[in-house]
Amino acid sequence: MSLEDAKNQVDQAFTRQNLRGPSYENTFGGATSFLRRRYTKDLAGVDLAVTGVPFDQAVTNRPGTRLGPRAIREASALQSPDAPYGWGYDPMSEFAIADYGDLAFDYADVPAFPAALQAHIAGILNAGAASVTLGGDHSITLAILKAYAAKFGPLSVLQFDAHTDTWADDNMDRVDHGTFMYKAVKLGIVDPARSVQVGIRTDNPDTMGFHIIDAPRVHEIGNRAVCDEIRAVLGDHPTYVTFDIDCLDPAFAPGTGTPVWGGLSSAQAAAILRGIRGIDVLGGDVVEVSPPFDTTGATAIAGAHVAMELICLWGWTRRAQT
């Protein structure tokens, strides 16, 4: 692309014709789709769809994650002109990636929400695309896992989080961001023996058989050993990656509902996500970004980078080999 072409790029979210390639639109202007990908509900030819789920009615403390998808999209504009650092390939150029927009739902009909989300994700998967979801509170992951498990069978999960989210809750009609993983195990859609939770630093006696690498252990053994441990547990099993932004220490991600000190740094998270390339990632999400508490935008920036890393992980085993 010539410099002159770059000067004329504007509102690529609506004007770009090709689903592949970087965007040289001014990062400070224009419509803010994720990575300047085209907004579209047409998934023909799409390899991966990024979608937003602006839902936060299931939080136990501070709300605001309903505004997360919008903030993450805005923060991602700075990443759109360049290949992601440290990967050696550019998924924006190699794959057809679209911004599928947000899930439409009735905010006042919470009981109907999970089924609407599951159908939304199932529609993406049935079109032959993978999904990366921008949350939203962490309760959204249960409906997403249901859609993935319906297509692929029981999954391994790699969960980055300050909390295990396995608090007991046998009322399947409740929508709660602290109990969704308990329900996923009880429903048989997640295999805890082949799943890993990273960054945990809150007490919950029932870990349900998950392999836990808590935050103190991450700090103690280092990134490379963490990656080796993750690989040993996941093996080649199909894996869904869910990243709660509160896995990061509040110094790096203050804009979240349930912040806990002693978490991972942005550098640690980046090194671990890049260090596990090659695992069989089917899709993923980044959740719990709450812009009202994100005074500098740092949390949304972290969320945008995590979403890009999830795309890179998904694409690593599908990229053209040279």
Binding residues for Mn(2+): 138, 161, 163, 165, 244, 246
Binding-site residues from annotation: 138, 161, 163, 165, 244, 246
The residue type found at 234 is L
The residue type found at 136 is G
Residues 51 and 31: their CA atoms lie apart, in Å, by 16
Plot region of 209 (φ>0 → left; ψ -120 to 50 → alpha; else → beta) = left
Helix (H, G, I), strand (E, B) or coil at 212: strand
Q: Is it true that the peptide bond before 45 is cis, omega within 30 degrees of 0? A: no
Q: Is 6 exposed, middle or buried (0-12, 13-18, 19+ CB in 10 A)?
A: middle
Residues 71 and 68: their CA atoms lie apart, in Å, by 5
Nearest CA-CA partner of 77 in 39, 22, 115, 144: 22
Nearest CA-CA partner of 185 in 209, 212, 162: 209
Nearest CA-CA partner of 39 in 21, 68, 16, 8: 16
Nearest CA-CA partner of 51 in 248, 313, 284: 284
Contact between residue 279 and residue 158 where contact means Cβ atoms under 8 Å apart? yes
Nearest CA-CA partner of 131 in 55, 39, 50, 189: 50
